[in-house]
Amino acid sequence: MAIKLDLRRLEAIKSTDHFKILKDKALKYAKEIENDNSIGFTHLPETSRYIEDAETISLKLPDGIDTLLVLGIGGSALGTKMIANCFGEHLKRRLIVLDNVDPDTVKSISKKINPQKTCINVISKSGSTVEPISLFKYFFNLFRENLGEVEALKRTVITTDPEKGNLRKLATSFNILTLEVPQNVGGRFSVLTPVGIFPLYYAGVDVSSILRGALKQKKEGVEQAITGSIVDYMFYTGGKNIKVMFIYSDRLYTFGEWYLQLFAESLGKKVKKNGEEIRIGATGVLAKGVTDQHSQVQLYKEGPDDKLFVFFRLEKKHDVIIPPAFDQDKGFSYLTGKTFGELMFAECEGTIQALENDGRPVILYEMDEITPENMGRLIYLFELQTAVAGFLYGIDPFNQPGVEEGKTIAKKLLGYN
Amino acid sequence: MAIKLDLRRLEAIKSTDHFKILKDKALKYAKEIENDNSIGFTHLPETSRYIEDAETISLKLPDGIDTLLVLGIGGSALGTKMIANCFGEHLKRRLIVLDNVDPDTVKSISKKINPQKTCINVISKSGSTVEPISLFKYFFNLFRENLGEVEALKRTVITTDPEKGNLRKLATSFNILTLEVPQNVGGRFSVLTPVGIFPLYYAGVDVSSILRGALKQKKEGVEQAITGSIVDYMFYTGGKNIKVMFIYSDRLYTFGEWYLQLFAESLGKKVKKNGEEIRIGATGVLAKGVTDQHSQVQLYKEGPDDKLFVFFRLEKKHDVIIPPAFDQDKGFSYLTGKTFGELMFAECEGTIQALENDGRPVILYEMDEITPENMGRLIYLFELQTAVAGFLYGIDPFNQPGVEEGKTIAKKLLGYN
């Protein structure tokens, strides 16, 4: 299996009655989720149409483009960032994903692009998300000042709802190239829709392999996904309100950011049960291996026993060797001939064992290498796992009612009514 | 005041007896900490000697250097990263801080530097930290292959203990330029020692202003620091085991990383009290405003009431205006003429109020602008606050015994004995 889940010293929980009862439930939920046509994400691995759409749009864009500026936020940005961070060094076009409205960053990005050689992809499912809309106004205006309105419009692609919203209206009025976000897929589950497929395809990522990996995982990985859901459920309900994602790969770090959005928005919910309001949701924390061993491990090891630890590592890689230098000193020579891959692996293993020795719950995902196919697997695995966990908690993993109030207050402060 | 702490709807806790008792204690602890010569960090704002040392070393390095490669991890990297991220776009030399041993990253960095125009600063207080040592072997070898040993040695600066350790021995044997980490300052408190001062000075940061800001904060900011300590203490002991640092500024984001190391290693501890082992420590979580409103706020608002929220924002900035575009649509026109600074501010305020309306504890730091002086203030404020909080908990905020076991296991796995 390309992705291995190792329960390590927790392996014994699999034989408990509690686990077995949850497993039966979770298997049933997974089947329900995959058979429900109103839940879109499970059908995306078989959907090659969005790649064809991406190809069609790409052919209509001007020649000589070397940069795609993606304006989106949350689920409209994180999937693309995740994959771009894995493969960004070897792409045919530069992908810049701008998912904040910090004026310093806006200025800095505007200096890094040449409008003549850049296209804009503005993404908002609702068509009215304030951040991409305000960034779109800014960058469209910049392009218009540099190239004129006709050329600026030619360099624009809108990704939004097929029928509704301000961006859809705009696309129709100005005859702008558009792509559709399917109505049955929420933002955080949308990386395999045009939201992620178009920018990744246009930048040169092998998106077919991503879909192929997702499909393989869908066929082979249900047991792995539900095991993850059950571990989440058991440890959260058992009192661990923090889940640490400890990722031993710089290229996979943004996978962690993508996943923590999926996790937080899907599983952080209030529900009424027997007339009582219950608030649910572990808080995800991202840690970078080995770096955060020198930052957070003191707390993880000696601090309160309130955490579930989920480690990620790659199989040992042997391509970068630590060479001889200053080997007259034993503190230097013991590293000579080792690889950085072995060093990462040993440090990860040392950290895991140190936590386990203190009785902390640890599970480990191991992936053979970072390929588009494996990233497709990861995406599907964690989407399904999250959805099933939601069903175990008895909550709706697909809504996000808690984000509205802040938006409304902000709009009022900006004078919108 | 350049940094304002606003307790917002928590203001009333200041009039409680509990707060007043803690305040008396905390004031006493702050005085003890500042008067104790074995605790080094409080004396760094007055210590200009390290700037002179940085100047001396800089003059001895070869001409034509445009990049400094810093090899350090944890406290030897995070302070420099914090300041470089604030001012990195306007420096006279590029600063690359490599604080991980991921082979993909090592390869990628080695492609980005030209040994002829680069110096290496390897930093390890103990002189035996495995990550900077292995990276040093790799990059020193690369430089030696490109330039010969003599030139490679000329481009090396070692920052380590004044007397002990492998790196100190090496510096003596090979006559390498060195800087000293004072023995009474721990890694996470060391940004104002040669650990941070040399790379920042050499890159062209105005380090004198950083020290001046730290000194002003030391003179004026004790009350602010202890208020922060007391809030930390009260909410952690009151059951909030998670502290969210919600930072509304991309340039300040790495301040959050620096602070969360300081926070975790200083305050995540086990202690014996009346023969019983107690484990202490809130878990810090970093959130980026406005981006994470679309990722984590659903959980923060509707999930469990287990968090203290600490917001950071800058005063409204008016330098980047949202221009007119597509203004026939009201959803676009209401933003026209607003600035991105106002938008950030409104979104921050909206998020804060939405959380407050749900009864979540929120405090807010506001800074007028990002300057070296203000960064000096921030550094001192949070160092003192953290130390005082440690004393309130009755723990030693200056040690980190919990990190050793994992290191030992990793070394064994690598064949060191």
Q: Give dist(CA A389, CA A264) in Å, integer.
A: 12
Residue of A67, A75, A56, A198 lying closest to A132 (CA atoms): A75
DSSP one-letter string for A173-230:
HHT-EEEE--TTS-GGG-TTSHHHHHHHHHHT--HHHHHHHHHHHHHH-HHHHHHHHH
Residue B417 has pLDDT above 80, yes or no: no
Is B220 an interface residue toward A (CB < 8 Å)? no
Helices (H), A246-371: 253-267, 297-302, 330-333, 340-357
B329 vs B356, more confident: B356
Residue A92 has pLDDT above 80, yes or no: yes
User: What's the pLDDT tens digit per position in B109-129?
Assistant: 999 999 999 999 999 999 999
The catalytic residue positions of B are 265, 294, 407
User: What's the pLDDT tens digit per position in B288-306?
Assistant: 999 999 999 999 999 999 9
Contact present, B271 and B278 (Cβ < 8 Å): yes
Map residue A310 onto helix, strand or coil: strand
A281 token code pair: 């949701």
Give me the torsion for CA of B83, B84, B86, B89, rounded to 10°. Answer: 160
Q: Give dist(CA A72, CA A187) in Å, integer.
A: 10
Residues 6+ apart with CB under 8 A from A24: none
Is B329 an interface residue toward A (CB < 8 Å)? yes
Contact present, A26 and A392 (Cβ < 8 Å): yes
Q: Put residue B303 in one of left, alpha, beta given phi > 0 → left and psi -120 to 50 → alpha.
A: beta
Q: How confident is the model at residue A1 (pLDDT cuts 50, 70, 90)?
A: low
Q: Give dist(CA A235, CA B289) in Å, integer.
A: 29
pLDDT computed for residue B88 by the predictor:
83
Map residue B48 onto helix, strand or coil: coil
The nearest CA of chain B is from the CA of A176 a distance in Å of: 12
Give the residue-averaged pLDDT of B139-152: 98
Mutate to test the interface with B, among A236, A254, A340, A356 (most CBs of B within 10 A): A340
**Third-level CATH fold of B3-35+211-401:** Rossmann fold (3.40.50)
Residue of B228, B253, B225 lying closest to B243 (CA atoms): B228
> Which residue of chain A has the CA closest to B265?
A298
Map residue B378 onto helix, strand or coil: helix
Map residue B394 onto helix, strand or coil: coil
Token pair 């994400």 is found at A41
Domain locations along chain B: 3-35+211-401, 41-205
> Which residue of chain B has the CA closest to A345?
B410
Residues 5-64 of A with CB under 8 A from B: none
* Chain B hits for A267, Cβ within 8 Å: 299
A364 token code pair: 């480990």
B74 token code pair: 């944890």
Active site residue A407: yes
Q: Give dist(CA A178, CA A123) in Å, integer.
A: 10
Residue B317 has pLDDT above 90, yes or no: no
Residue A417 has pLDDT above 80, yes or no: no
Residue B90 has pLDDT above 90, yes or no: no
Q: Give dist(CA B67, CA B202) in Å, integer.
A: 9
Q: In which element (H, E) is residue B66 found?
A: none
> Which residue of chain B has the CA closest to A299?
B268
Estimate the crossing angle of helix B207-220 against helix B372-393, to 10 degrees: 50
* Chain A hits for B407, Cβ within 8 Å: 293, 350
Q: Give dist(CA B378, CA B367) in Å, integer.
A: 9
Q: Give dist(CA A27, CA A138) in Å, integer.
A: 48
Residue B232 corresponds to which amino acid? D
Give the residue-averaged pLDDT of A224-228: 98
Q: In which element (H, E) is residue A133 found?
A: helix A130-147
What radius of gyration, in Å, describes the C-alpha atoms of chain A?
A: 23
pLDDT computed for residue A336 by the predictor:
97
Q: Do B402 and A285 touch (CB under 8 A)?
A: no
Map residue B259 onto helix, strand or coil: helix
Is A96 an interface residue toward B (CB < 8 Å)? no
- Helix/strand/coil percentages in chain A, nearest 5: 55, 15, 30
pLDDT computed for residue B376 by the predictor:
98
Map residue B416 onto helix, strand or coil: coil
Percentage of residues in chain B having pLDDT higher than 70: 100
Q: How confident is the model at residue B316 (pLDDT cuts 50, 70, 90)?
A: confident
Find the range with the poorest average confidence among A351-360, B61-70, B263-272, B314-323. B314-323
Question: Average per-residue pLDDT in chain A?
Answer: 96
The nearest CA of chain B is from the CA of A414 a distance in Å of: 7
Q: Do A138 and B340 touch (CB under 8 A)?
A: yes
What are the Cα distances from residue B15, in Å, to B18, B23, B356, B362, B366? Answer: 9, 11, 20, 17, 23
Domains B3-35+211-401 and B41-205 share a fold: yes
pTM above 0.95, yes or no: yes
User: What's the pLDDT tens digit per position in A367-389?
Assistant: 999 999 999 999 999 999 999 99
- How many H helices and E strands in chain B? 16, 12
Q: Give dist(CA B108, CA A251) in Å, integer.
A: 11
Strands B242-248 and B307-314: parallel
Contact present, A124 and A76 (Cβ < 8 Å): yes
Question: b/e map of A252-269 (b: 16 or more CB within 10 Å)?
Answer: bbbbbbbbbbbbbbbbbb
pLDDT computed for residue B142 by the predictor:
98
Q: Indicate the DSSP class of residue B120.
A: E
Burial class (CB in 10 A: 0-12, 13-18, 19+), B161: middle
Start-to-end Cα distance in chain B: 54
User: What's the pLDDT tens digit per position in A181-220?
Assistant: 999 999 999 999 999 999 999 999 999 999 999 999 999 9
> Which residue of chain B has the CA closest to A405?
B354
User: What's the pLDDT tens digit per position in A239-250?
Assistant: 999 999 999 999
Catalytic one of A273, A407, A411, A412? A407
ipTM above 0.90, yes or no: yes
> Which residue of chain A has the CA closest to B348?
A410
Q: How confident is the model at residue B282 (pLDDT cuts 50, 70, 90)?
A: very high
Give the residue-averaged pLDDT of A132-143: 98
CATH of B41-205 given 3.40.50.10490, 1.10.10.350, 3.30.590.20, 3.40.470.10 = 3.40.50.10490
Mutate to test the interface with A, among B326, B328, B345, B396 (most CBs of A within 10 A): B326
Give the residue-averaged pLDDT of B305-312: 98
Residue of B287, B305, B391, B399 lying closest to B347 (CA atoms): B287
Q: Give dist(CA A293, CA A407) in Å, integer.
A: 37
* Chain A hits for B134, Cβ within 8 Å: 322, 335, 338, 340, 343
Catalytic one of A60, A90, A272, A294? A294
User: What's the pLDDT tens digit per position in B8-65?
Assistant: 999 999 999 999 999 999 999 999 999 999 999 999 999 999 999 999 999 999 999 9
Question: b/e map of B295-307 (b: 16 or more CB within 10 Å)?
Answer: bbbbbbbbbbebb
User: What's the pLDDT tens digit per position in A228-271?
Assistant: 999 999 999 999 999 999 999 999 999 999 999 999 999 999 99
pLDDT computed for residue B1 by the predictor:
62
What radius of gyration, in Å, describes the C-alpha atoms of chain B?
A: 23
